[in-house]
A and B are shown apart, each in its own frame.
Chain A
Amino acid sequence: MKNTMRRIVGGALTSLTGFAALLIVAILAIILFDAMRGGFGNITWQFLSEPPSDGMMGGGIFPALYGTAALTLLMTLAVMPVGVLTAVYLHEYAPPSSLLARAVRLAVVNLAGVPSIVFGLFGLGFFIHFVGGSMDRALGYQELHWGQPGILWASLTLAVLTLPVVIVSTEEALRAVPMDHRTASLALGATRSQTLARVVLPGALPGILTGAVLAVSRGAGEVAPILFTGAAYFLPDLPSKLNAQFMHLGYHTYVLATQSPDVEATRPLLYATVLVLLALTFALNLVAVLIRARTRRRASAAH
């Protein structure tokens, strides 16, 4: 009798945890469904290829798409070499009980927890006022040229923000390269750097790509760090110089959602923008998941 009671109560509580898991999935489904329902009908070729018009109440999002792409491209170029080499140091070069390696790991963990708005402040204080301001003074510009918000500074700010993502996933990728590959290469007389360049890094390439994709998906969606480092409300021209301001999908979403003079009129555009942004990040995450699954399968086959 007592035992049945225990089992029933246990079963009920177990279902409760299952309900919590279901709730998380359901919320995701609601968000997706809402974005699909509100946005799907409004995504047309015109919407994707035209600039906004009528004071943001018509037209499309092409400059925002272009700005987001350019921003994340620059960010990736900046973050990948640094992130990959840091991971290479941690996994391939650091002595087993290195103090430096421990300090780097701790810094990476903490960097991942710094609020995104603080990165924005950092970008403003360091890149724009300090680096940009110094460049202006050194190059003799009278008015602000580099010492103002622009796409270069915004992308470097995002690069610092995504650095932990790249380091962690690259280290995971390096771990998946079997130790035999390294010892075989060294036994054939290759040096450490040759082994690294021709055996280890090619072997870890899929995992490193995963890191890049994850960094892009994270960086493309962040708005807080670019609020005052380069994103603009509306620009008639596409950014053509590194110190130019740019439009951005996430910032555009924020502007449409909070600063529109006519909420009803902008709603279709807003939903369509959100859906594009969601589709973009989901596609990137999906690519990362697929590459990772393939790497894992290959790694387990190699052992």
Chain B
Amino acid sequence: MQSEGLVETATVAPRLSSVARRRQIREKVIAGFITAMAFTGIAALVLILVFIAKEALAIFLDAHAREEASLSKMFLPQVVRAGKPAAFVWQPVSSVPKVSMIPLFIGTLKTTLVSMVVAVPVGVAGALFAAEFAPRRMREILKPTIELLAGIPSVVLGFFALMVLASFLQDTFGLTSRLNAVVAGLGLSLAIVPVIFTVAEDALTAVPRSYREASLALGATPWETAWKVVLPAAAPGILAACVLGFGRAIGETMIVLMASGNAAIVSWNFADSVRSMSATIAAEMGEVVVGSPHYSLLFFIGVELFLFTFVLNMLANVWTRRVIKRLSGAGA
């Protein structure tokens, strides 16, 4: 609500009765209280970072943790057994803890890659259909249906990937590990298709009708109009949709925890089991000793996840605004 008029009437009034003054003070208190409440969102975001970073900080400060989980041990190959070549191994619970993050990065990357390869084309094409080609009736059914898909709890999608997808893929392709990066990635794509669809559809419908009419009037077919006019106009928004989906896929936990096999293997074979960063936190936090190097390490993974998704969100935010600016700046 535009409030300038109100503020003026309050300041212009020359002398107030005590009742009016009390009223004014009460209004100020209420406004102050509501403003204070609005800080909660900011406070939450800051507290999240501060408190997971605080628990992770021991890796750099505590002497014992610094030795067991130094940055070089996390990111450089280590000689696990004398005589063997140096390797990346995640095995934090063992007599000699091995804490390489690389297998977890690879696992996260593999599942995310699979999910993006599936979800981006399907999500964007679906959005293009809904925004450009679908009759109004069909669109009115399509959108709530996809919202329904978005409402499925991720543990149910994980269950579906674990019970149905995994068996189907194993029976069809005869894979050695039943739970692997492909199964988890396909499960993940179910979670991010609705995200990509919704954001992309918003960006596409924001393109002014005059663009389409101009293109059609020049003799372009509906497909040419959609592909060469509408899609490029909404490009930053589509990009934002993909980035948001990417962020969701990196951070999603339950699906990967249930369907990836949870083995920290370094390989480029997508049919191998993998262990993702988020699933590692979920699987290991329950049994860890509070304050131990392993505990700090899990929080350190949390910091990494937070920062990754934060950066992706900021990028998506910038690109979404760019669509709005581009389209309103073009004299729509």
The chain A residues found within 8 Å of chain B, CB to CB, are 6-7, 9-11, 13-14, 16-21, 23-25, 27-28, 30-31, 34-35, 81-82, 85-86, 88-96, 100-101, 103-104, 106-122, 124-126, 129-130, 160, 163-164, 167, 179, 182, 186, 191-193, 217-218, 220-224, 227-228, 250-251, 253-254, 257-258, 270, 274, 277-278, 281-282, 284-285, 289
Contact B42 A257 (CB under 8 A): no
B65 CB, min distance to chain A CBs, angstroms: 16
Contact A113 B310 (CB under 8 A): yes
Using a Cβ–Cβ cut-off of 8 Å, how many residues does chain B contribute to the interface with A? 96
Bound complex: CA A253 to CA B155 (Å): 7
Picked from B51, B129, B223, the residue with its CB within 8 Å of the CB of A126 is B51
Interface digits, B174-212 against A, CB 8 Å rule (1 contact, 0 not)?
Answer: 000000000000000010011001000000000000000
Bound complex: CA A96 to CA B250 (Å): 36
Contact A24 B149 (CB under 8 A): yes
15 pairs across A/B with beta carbons < 8 Å? A24-B123, A88-B34, A89-B38, A92-B34, A115-B252, A117-B281, A117-B305, A118-B251, A118-B302, A121-B281, A163-B44, A223-B155, A250-B254, A270-B159, A289-B144
Contact A113 B313 (CB under 8 A): yes
Q: Does B134 contact A (CB under 8 A)?
A: yes
Residues of B within 8 A of A89 (CB): 34-35, 37-38
**Closest B residue, CB atoms, query A270:** B159
Picked from B126, B162, B298, the residue with its CB within 8 Å of the CB of A20 is B126
Picked from B23, B122, B156, the residue with its CB within 8 Å of the CB of A253 is B156
Contact B125 A21 (CB under 8 A): yes
Besides the contacts A20-B123, A121-B281, A124-B285, what 17 more A-B pairs have beta carbons closer than 8 Å?
Answer: A17-B132, A17-B133, A19-B125, A20-B122, A30-B164, A81-B37, A89-B34, A89-B38, A103-B42, A113-B312, A115-B309, A125-B51, A126-B48, A126-B51, A218-B151, A228-B285, A277-B156
**Closest B residue, CB atoms, query A106:** B317
Within 8 A of A (CB), among B206-231: 221-224, 226-227
Contact A17 B126 (CB under 8 A): yes
**Dominant secondary structure at the A interface:** helix
Bound complex: CA A217 to CA B312 (Å): 26
Residues of B within 8 A of A257 (CB): 158-159, 162-163, 258
Residues of A within 8 A of B285 (CB): 120-121, 124, 227-228
Bound complex: CA A227 to CA B154 (Å): 14
Bound complex: CA A18 to CA B133 (Å): 8
Bound complex: CA A86 to CA B151 (Å): 24
Picked from B34, B128, B226, B282, the residue with its CB within 8 Å of the CB of A224 is B282
Residues of B within 8 A of A100 (CB): 35, 38
Bound complex: CA A118 to CA B250 (Å): 12
**Closest B residue, CB atoms, query A225:** B253
B101 CB, min distance to chain A CBs, angstroms: 16
Bound complex: CA A129 to CA B50 (Å): 14
Bound complex: CA A7 to CA B222 (Å): 9
Picked from A11, A160, A270, the residue with its CB within 8 Å of the CB of B44 is A160
Q: Does B68 contact A (CB under 8 A)?
A: no
Contact B1 A179 (CB under 8 A): yes
Q: Does B319 contact A (CB under 8 A)?
A: no
Take A107-B42, A117-B305 as given contacts and tell me if A223 and B31 are in contact as well, using a CB distance cutoff of 8 Å. Answer: no
**Dominant secondary structure at the B interface:** helix
Contact A118 B147 (CB under 8 A): no
A148 CB, min distance to chain B CBs, angstroms: 11
Take A21-B134, A23-B122, A110-B310 as given contacts and tell me if A117 and B152 are in contact as well, using a CB distance cutoff of 8 Å. Answer: no
Residues of B within 8 A of A115 (CB): 250-253, 278, 305-306, 309
Q: Which of A13, A17, A27, A282 has the most chain B CB atoms closer than 10 A to its own CB?
A: A17
A196 CB, min distance to chain B CBs, angstroms: 8
Bound complex: CA A129 to CA B41 (Å): 21
Q: Does B299 contact A (CB under 8 A)?
A: yes
Residues of A within 8 A of B2 (CB): 96
Residues of A within 8 A of B316 (CB): 113
Picked from A17, A92, A113, the residue with its CB within 8 Å of the CB of B309 is A113
Contact A274 B47 (CB under 8 A): no
Contact B41 A111 (CB under 8 A): yes
Bound complex: CA A182 to CA B312 (Å): 39
Top 5 A-B pairs, shortest CB-CB distance: A115-B251, A221-B153, A10-B223, A20-B125, A89-B38
**Closest B residue, CB atoms, query A179:** B1
Contact B51 A278 (CB under 8 A): no
Q: Does B3 contact A (CB under 8 A)?
A: yes
Contact B155 A31 (CB under 8 A): no
**Closest B residue, CB atoms, query A217:** B151
Contact A110 B314 (CB under 8 A): yes
Picked from A191, A224, A258, the residue with its CB within 8 Å of the CB of B278 is A224
Take A24-B193, A117-B278, A258-B258 as given contacts and tell me if A228 and B286 are in contact as well, using a CB distance cutoff of 8 Å. Answer: yes
Contact A223 B254 (CB under 8 A): yes
Bound complex: CA A161 to CA B282 (Å): 17
Q: Which of A21, A109, A221, A254 has the most chain B CB atoms closer than 10 A to its own CB?
A: A21
Contact A31 B160 (CB under 8 A): yes
Q: Does B330 contact A (CB under 8 A)?
A: no
Bound complex: CA A20 to CA B262 (Å): 31
